[in-house]
Amino acid sequence: MSNMKKVGMGMVLAGMLVAAGGAMAADKHKVVIQVSSADPETQKIALNNAVNVQKDMGMDNVDIEIVAYGPGLSLLTTKSEDSARVKSLAMQNITFSACGNTMKKVAEKTGKEPELTEGVKVVNAGVIRIMELQEGGYSYIRP
């Protein structure tokens, strides 16, 4: 076989590997779960949904983000009865995002922002974050 054919075949093989790698990356599932209710049962369902999805699909096969805003922000505070669980799940590759707009509103009413559980990040606006994630291919869940 000539060197030219070997180079050509090598390039085809390399292209196939790149395409396969891209397809494998595209197979990763992405889920955003909205929490906008202060109801403890609804909040537990959101956490259970995240755990069940991750357990079923495998930690490495799914990105999960829980976005809390409005009354749902209470789930992500240190005063939540699920605070320890949120902290634990954050260490297990579940992302928690607190709405910055809600944080500011709480601060206006109470004089201070709520204390968030360790592992929770703040985003500018919860609703905008959900929109961005959906535009990025995330499936939307609202318990």
Class of domain 29-141: alpha beta
Tens of pLDDT, residue by residue, the chain (143 residues): 555 454 444 444 444 444 444 444 558 999 999 999 999 999 999 999 999 999 999 999 999 999 999 999 999 999 999 999 999 999 999 999 999 999 999 999 999 999 999 999 999 999 999 999 999 999 999 99
Domain boundaries, the chain: 29-141
Question: How is 59-114 classified by DSSP, letter by letter?
Answer: GGGEEEEEEE-GGGGGGGBTTSTTHHHHHHHHTTTEEEEEEHHHHHHHHHHHSSPP
82 phi/psi in degrees, rounded to 5: -105, 15
